[in-house]
A and B are shown apart, each in its own frame.
Chain A
Amino acid sequence: MSDQRDSGNEQPTKKLNFATRLLHFGSEIDRTTGASSVPIYQASTFHHEDIYNPPEYDYSRSGNPTRQALEDYIAVLEGGVRGFAYSSGMAAISSTFMILSSGDHIIVTEDVYGGTYRLLTSILNRLGIETTFVDMTDIELVKKAIKPNTKAVYMETPSNPTLKITDIATITEWAKEHELITILDNTFMTPYYQRPIEMGVDIVLHSATKFLSGHSDVLAGLAVVRTEALGASLKQLQNGLGTVLGPQDSWLLIRGMKTLEARMRQSEISAGLLATWLSERTDITNVFYPGLAGHPGREIHETQSTGYGALVSFDVGSGDRAKRVLNKVQLPLVAVSLGAVESILSYPAMMSHAAMPKDVRAERGITDGLLRFSVGLEHIDDLIDDLNQALQEE
């Protein structure tokens, strides 16, 4: 969100309700023609009329009007000062980590996304960045992990795939006392349900490939910062590293985000019904969903989020049974990824967490019988009927 670009829009966008902000974010109408959506500026470079007065945009890596509209949009939604769009969620994460230098230490949630784990343990370690993975549901463990060279704390809540809850406000408050930068991957909740910057978090990251875009058709990452200083430093890195999102994908992502609230609400209702149905079955050993009574951390989650999200993980008892279910389901896509209009069923042990040693996986509750269901927009009765037949043992 930038003041000069919003000058034509007298409405104080922050005062509006979220569903309205999704459609009226400041750049939704093209200033030149009045077109009802921002044009796709498929240009790499921009003409300078006057050598002493460079234009606002000079090269698309540094700034592109379509990408800018998206970046302003996510900043408004997350309540931050500035947004950045990247070619993938991992590009957003890897570019953000570059605010750190050799010799710096970072505390990271132990059930961090596998791609982030790989980045930290096989690439950033070579650059002299040190990581400690801790169970962030326990603030005491986080406190114990601090070292003189600790510079940042990295959270994901709810976590993937067991939906563990981290207390954002408590960790952020402690981090601030120690002058640590707080970073939170908000992919699972989206700003519709959870706005970490309002709780003091410094940088919010997204794999926008998931719920924000919502159609399994765009690979994208987003970052939003709480302060101008962090904004300047992320801007320099985004431009310097060139990990930017293209104009067509920026436009597709904007298009997807307009229906975020409608999609999230519907998927959440269905996810709640699915989780309840699963928890009532005697042949399911465990159901993980923050909306279920008895889900650990549920009370904390309810203080920091306005919803429970669309992901349900459940344990069918054994690896063999999980495989049978995956081969029998008809409706959900059996695939990696999540957060789309179509339901996606994943098998963490062999997909997202395949690289993790079996004992480490077991320790984190990622058992061989665990399945992760990303609930889409199909009718819930159809999804339940389908899962019911897949769970039926001959």
Chain B
Amino acid sequence: MEKKALRIESRLAQIGSIEEPVTGAVNFPIYQATAFRHPQLGKSTGFDYSRTKNPTRQVLEDASAQLESGDDAFACSSGMAALQTVFALFGQGDHLIVSLDLYGGTYRLIERVLSKYGISASYVDTNDMDALETHRRSNTKAVFIETPTNPLMMITDIRAVCSWARQHQLLSIVDNTLMTPLFQRPLELGADIVVHSATKYLGGHNDVLAGLIITKGKALSEEMFFLHNSMGAVLSPSDSYQLMRGMKTLALRMERHESNAISIAKYLTTHPAIEAVYHPYLEGHPGRAIQAEQCSGNTGIFSFKVKDARYVEPILRHIQLIAFAESLGGVESLMTYPAVQTHADIPLEIRQAVGVDDKLLRFSVGIEHVEDLIADLAGALEAARVEIEGGESV
């Protein structure tokens, strides 16, 4: 059966499963080899040196290209390595338009590294087409979107922004880490490049650091191949295998992440210690309609604000099942305090403008039983209330 005709769940489950022609092994072997013997001078098996191309990495890359409906894919040693490789498309004097509520690592890459090479960026609410137009300059080369944003879950209309970008001959790049191709495929909506921190949902087990780049179009794919090989920030064969292994269960995991997150978000909206819940599935979320239109599901992370910043420390101390750690997208639930962890590198005024303040917590909901998670959270909120407000525990 033609693999393209299969549904995404089937393609995920069978990544690498029927690719191994020699032994028929149902999982693709880990080619822990750096160099490949040339059968004859001037003849290559297609593999010469693993930085350029490795059979295990290749299976992962082909599967990723197909899942995202792209033409080619490139696996990198981390999500940041993927971003760095993509940004190497640009040179001195180039300008980028970037989502306002941006992952701290991407912000740091732009402001501390790219800025040294004369590459500048404007941070814009990519929902606001007028703002995009206002910030577009003659040297603007690309627009970079995260949707939903992290941690405030702002939604951007991918189709509208990509169409605008195309009109002005700008590349459109979408960080699809939070949604994964199971729920959102930006290349089908007009984007040129998709990037992933595959460390998150694609890997899914908090055990492998990896990044992916997926490109649309022959020229762009060739340019990316050149950069990926030349800069050398490639993913190893063992990590490529680990990532494929994780991706096989992506659909199952995402469905559970989604339903757990929605249940917990709904629970928190009714809790007296909670000031706001940011989840695009909830009624009243400003991006709800666009999200429903361009995605077939919802991610497992969301954010919420406690009514008083003093609650944060005791909550993080009292959660028992939920780990207090950076990162997201794993089978285990993690809670993050963006203001001091993931977003510490973003200046206070920018953080405050988008709402990443000291009352905000980000919850990456795992696949534990939802009742256990709610009980853990309820217990921590109550313990925090007793410490801050005093009085009897209820």
B81 at the interface (CB under 8 A from A): yes
Contact present for A249 and B112 (CB under 8 Å): no
What are the residues of chain B within 8 A of A241 when measuring CB–CB?
80-81, 84, 109, 113, 233
Contact present for A240 and B35 (CB under 8 Å): no
Contact present for B38 and A102 (CB under 8 Å): no
Picked from A44, A49, A58, A94, the residue with its CB within 8 Å of the CB of B209 is A44
Give the contacts of B13-52 with A (CB-CB under 8 A).
Answer: 32-38, 40-42, 48-51
Alpha-carbon gap, A218 to B237, bound state (A): 9
- What string of 1s and 0s marks CB contacts (under 8 Å) between B66-100 and chain A? 00000000001111111110001011100000000
Contact present for A128 and B234 (CB under 8 Å): no
Alpha-carbon gap, A91 to B234, bound state (A): 8
- Show the binding face of B for A, using Cβ within 8 Å: 32-38, 40-42, 48-51, 76-84, 88, 90-92, 105, 108-109, 112-113, 116-119, 199, 203, 206-209, 211, 226-227, 230-236, 238-239, 242, 312-313, 316-317, 323-327, 330, 334, 337, 340-341
- What string of 1s and 0s marks CB contacts (under 8 Å) between A77-121 and chain B? 000000000111111111000100110000000000001001100
Picked from B51, B108, B206, the residue with its CB within 8 Å of the CB of A240 is B108
Alpha-carbon gap, A344 to B37, bound state (A): 9
What are the residues of chain A within 8 A of B199 when measuring CB–CB?
44
Contact present for B231 and A128 (CB under 8 Å): no
Q: A45-B326, A243-B77, A246-B77 are in contact. Are A334 and B233 (CB under 8 A)?
A: no
Contact present for B112 and A91 (CB under 8 Å): no
With a 10 A CB-CB cut-off, give which of A42, A45, A98 has the most chain B CB atoms.
A45
A347 at the interface (CB under 8 A from B): yes
With a 10 A CB-CB cut-off, give which of A49, A58, A335, A351 has the most chain B CB atoms.
A335
What are the residues of chain B within 8 A of A216 when measuring CB–CB?
33-35
Alpha-carbon gap, A127 to B118, bound state (A): 7
Min CB–CB distance B52 → chain A (angstroms) = 9
Question: What are 12 A-B contacts defined by CB distance under 8 Å?
Answer: A90-B231, A91-B234, A102-B116, A102-B117, A123-B88, A123-B227, A217-B34, A237-B113, A240-B108, A242-B84, A333-B37, A350-B41
- Identify 17 new A-B residue pairs, CB closer than 8 A, beyond the known A45-B327, A242-B211: A42-B242, A43-B207, A44-B203, A44-B209, A47-B324, A48-B324, A115-B230, A127-B92, A218-B32, A242-B84, A243-B231, A246-B77, A323-B41, A333-B37, A336-B35, A336-B48, A350-B42
Contact present for A337 and B235 (CB under 8 Å): no
Interface size class, chain A: 35 or more
Number of A-B contacts (CB under 8 A): 207
A221 at the interface (CB under 8 A from B): yes
Contact present for B327 and A44 (CB under 8 Å): yes
Q: A236-B112, A241-B81 are in contact. Are A217 and B33 (CB under 8 A)?
A: yes
Contact present for A119 and B77 (CB under 8 Å): no
Min CB–CB distance B222 → chain A (angstroms) = 13
Contact present for B236 and A87 (CB under 8 Å): yes
Give the top 7 A-B pairs by smallest Cβ distance, nearest first: A242-B80, A90-B232, A242-B78, A126-B91, A87-B77, A88-B232, A45-B327
Min CB–CB distance B174 → chain A (angstroms) = 18
Contact present for B37 and A334 (CB under 8 Å): yes
A248 at the interface (CB under 8 A from B): yes
Alpha-carbon gap, A334 to B108, bound state (A): 43
Contact present for B327 and A240 (CB under 8 Å): no
Contact present for A243 and B84 (CB under 8 Å): yes
What are the residues of chain A within 8 A of B48 when measuring CB–CB?
335-336, 351
B42 to chain A: closest residue by CB: A350
With a 10 A CB-CB cut-off, give which of B109, B199, B232 has the most chain A CB atoms.
B232
Min CB–CB distance B320 → chain A (angstroms) = 11
A236 to chain B: closest residue by CB: B112
A277 at the interface (CB under 8 A from B): no
What are the residues of chain B within 8 A of A101 when measuring CB–CB?
116-117
Contact present for A88 and B51 (CB under 8 Å): yes
Contact present for B34 and A246 (CB under 8 Å): no
Contact present for B80 and A61 (CB under 8 Å): yes
Contact present for A61 and B78 (CB under 8 Å): yes
What are the residues of chain A within 8 A of B207 when measuring CB–CB?
42-44
Picked from B40, B51, B88, B323, the residue with its CB within 8 Å of the CB of A47 is B323
Contact present for A127 and B91 (CB under 8 Å): yes
